[in-house]
């Protein structure tokens, strides 16, 4: 690898992404440098570009979930599962780091995803501190970051196709307390919703339905395990409610998972979950405004359980890897990653993701582009 490392930097919200050169970092003991093979452009990156997340220390190198090969390792480095890591290993890492373990959120409430010391590669790490994001030819893995070997069965494209959406979905299904045979609705057919469909199927759900758009994503939702899909653009909420009642003994779903990020989705989801059911809200990662609900009819009288889901923990990362190792050959996670962009085309990738022209853009930091930035 050259001494200089190229990375795509988001200088500020609504500003074009630009290529910058970074020096090769000096590694401290237990530090590592990952040569990036694949990163992703996810919905969060579009939110970052729109300036919709608070506390982001622009300029940043986006790309929080990434995969590559350990280029250099200083000293003895153990993976998050305890096994030793060596230069040349294909590796992935848990993007959340510096969770303190001592604050009230961590130690008292046992909600480490709400720790205020917590930092996330590609989101809350500034480019002024170095290579803390995957839109770069190499990523600095500081001591303490949870690193794991990528199982031989899992390709880089499997891992990044699943990406942060699978990690989130593992946590969502945990929050949903899915029981075998439960009938499940997933609202949203983006990366989180598609992975939630797949995990509900693997987890023994009965009927699985999904609401979303466009048709290409709904077709993929079917290949991920959905039995029935509703095109948001071609059905009304009233039609969907009537159809859901016909499919569920007039009751609604045992579990509804909101992965749509729309205030209207919450209003509808509360009507589609059965009395005494469970509703997990995971799509409102940014503030998209209030939903209008009737607390008597939709919550209190329903005896409903509503749960939020924020971020993920190391256990979700490891379990996502175990799921991919066992199932990536049959569940088409890789198809979520629709097109590969080099660093010089990431403004196009953001525009394509924003317009929902593709489900997910992949980043190949070593790829060549015919189009100058």
Binding site for Zn ion (CB under 5 A): 42, 44, 100, 103, 106, 115, 164
Shortest CB 165 distance to Zn ion, Å? 7
CA-wise closest residue to 101 among 120, 118, 80, 78: 118
Residue 310 CB-density burial (10 A; 0-12 exposed, 13-18 middle, 19+ buried): middle
**Cβ-contact 262, 288 below 8 angstroms:** yes
Shortest CB 206 distance to Zn ion, Å? 30
Cα distance from N-terminal residue to C-terminal residue, the chain = 23
Shortest CB 213 distance to Zn ion, Å? 20
**Cβ-contact 169, 195 below 8 angstroms:** yes
> Which of residues 115 and 265 has its CB atom nearest to Zn ion in the complex?
115
Q: How many CA atoms lie within 13 A of 209 on its CB side?
A: 24
> Which of residues 134 and 342 has its CB atom nearest to Zn ion in the complex?
134
> Which of residues 103 and 213 has its CB atom nearest to Zn ion in the complex?
103
**Cβ-contact 25, 33 below 8 angstroms:** yes
Shortest CB 317 distance to Zn ion, Å? 13
CA dist 317 and 93 (Å) reads 8
> Which of residues 67 and 272 has its CB atom nearest to Zn ion in the complex?
67
Helices 237-247 and 263-272, axial angle in degrees (round to 10)? 30
Shortest CB 113 distance to Zn ion, Å? 10
- Cα distances (Å, whole numbers) of residue 244 to 235, 240, 282, 367: 12, 6, 22, 46
CA-wise closest residue to 144 among 190, 194, 100, 180: 100
Beta strands 228-231 and 208-212, pairing class: parallel
> Which of residues 121 and 253 has its CB atom nearest to Zn ion in the complex?
121
> Which of residues 111 and 294 has its CB atom nearest to Zn ion in the complex?
111
Shortest CB 207 distance to Zn ion, Å? 29
> Which of residues 100 and 177 has its CB atom nearest to Zn ion in the complex?
100
Name every residue whose Cβ is closer than 8 Å to that of residue 279 and which is 6 or more positions away in sequence: 255, 256, 258, 269, 270, 273, 304, 305, 306, 307
CA dist 247 and 194 (Å) reads 21
Beta strands 119-120 and 138-141, pairing class: unpaired
Shortest CB 42 distance to Zn ion, Å? 3
Name every residue whose Cβ is closer than 8 Å to that of residue 143 and which is 6 or more positions away in sequence: 28, 29, 30, 31
Shortest CB 101 distance to Zn ion, Å? 6
- Residue that is written with structure tokens 């809200």 in the block: 281
CA dist 89 and 71 (Å) reads 8
Shortest CB 191 distance to Zn ion, Å? 7
> Which of residues 24 and 357 has its CB atom nearest to Zn ion in the complex?
357
> Which of residues 160 and 176 has its CB atom nearest to Zn ion in the complex?
160
């Amino acid at each position: 690898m050259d001494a200089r490392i190229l990375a795509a930097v988001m200088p500020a919200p609504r500003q074009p992404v630009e290529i910058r050169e970074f020096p090769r970092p000096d590694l401290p003991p237990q530090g590592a440098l990952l040569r990036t093979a694949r990163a992703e452009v996810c919905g969060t990156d579009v939110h970052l570009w729109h300036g919709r997340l608070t506390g982001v220390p622009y300029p940043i190198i986006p790309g929080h979930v990434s995969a590559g090969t350990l280029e250099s390792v200083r000293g003895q480095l153990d993976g998050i599962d305890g096994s030793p890591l060596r230069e040349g290993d294909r590796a992935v890492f848990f993007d959340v780091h510096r969770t303190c373990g001592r604050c009230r959120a961590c130690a008292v409430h046992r909600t480490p995803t709400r720790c205020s010391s917590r930092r996330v590669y590609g989101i809350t790490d500034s480019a002024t501190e170095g290579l803390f994001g995957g839109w770069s030819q190499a990523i600095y893995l500081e001591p303490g970051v949870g690193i794991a070997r990528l199982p031989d069965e899992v390709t880089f494209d499997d891992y990044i196709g699943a990406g942060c959406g699978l990690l989130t979905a593992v946590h969502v299904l945990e929050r949903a307390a899915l029981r075998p045979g439960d009938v499940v609705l997933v609202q949203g057919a983006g990366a989180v919703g598609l992975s939630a469909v797949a995990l509900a199927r693997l987890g023994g759900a009965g009927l699985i339905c999904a609401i979303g758009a466009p048709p290409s994503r709904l077709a993929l939702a079917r290949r991920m395990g959905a039995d029935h899909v509703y095109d948001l653009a071609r059905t009304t909420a009233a039609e969907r409610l009537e159809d859901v009642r016909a499919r569920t003994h007039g009751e609604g779903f045992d579990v509804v998972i909101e992965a749509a990020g729309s205030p209207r989705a919450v209003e509808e989801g509360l009507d589609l979950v059965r009395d005494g059911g469970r509703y997990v809200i995971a799509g409102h990662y940014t503030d998209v405004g209030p939903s209008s609900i009737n607390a008597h009819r939709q919550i209190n009288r329903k005896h409903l359980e509503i749960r939020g889901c924020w971020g993920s923990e190391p256990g979700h990362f490891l379990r996502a890897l175990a799921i991919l190792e066992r199932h990536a050959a049959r569940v088409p996670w890789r198809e979520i990653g629709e097109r590969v962009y080099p660093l010089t085309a990431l403004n196009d990738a953001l525009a394509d993701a924003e317009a929902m022209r593709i489900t997910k853009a992949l980043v190949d930091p070593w790829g060549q582009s015919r189009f100058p930035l």
